[in-house]
Amino acid sequence: MRNDFRARSHPAYWAFVVHRVSGVALTLFLPLHFWALAQSLQGEARLESFLRWTDHPLVKLSEIGLVLLLAAHMAGGMRLLAIEFLPWRDWHKTLLTAAAAVTVAFGLAFALNLT
């Protein structure tokens, strides 16, 4: 039991969790994204109505969340590729920190661009 707690408190475990959760969340978002794209096939009025809906503050906030999910998943994937293919495997914590920094940087850049 003690080893299980130590493993779950390790930063690499949380990087794994963030990567998996962001991947699942992005997978759940895909049908909504395809539905939104399909609105353009329904005609100009339908698309315009959908685009007006996307101007609501809650939708804008969810866009920031989506970009954070994308950045977290990308940074986690890049971290995994680096661990797998680069020779310096002792730098796991540095890679975790870099992945988190990239995630926050992308999220903040997107959020600041919305204003």
Position 35, amino acid? W
* 13 vs 7: CA distance, rounded Å: 7
* 39 vs 67: CA distance, rounded Å: 22
Per-residue pLDDT of the chain (115 residues; tens, 9 = 90+): 556 667 677 778 888 899 999 999 999 999 999 988 888 888 888 888 988 998 999 998 999 899 999 998 988 888 888 877 877 666 777 877 888 888 888 888 888 886 5
At the topology level, CATH places domain 2-114 in 3 helical TM bundles of succinate and fumarate reductases (1.20.1300)
DSSP state of 40: G
pTM of the model: 0.70
107 neighbors 71 (Cβ within 8 angstroms): yes
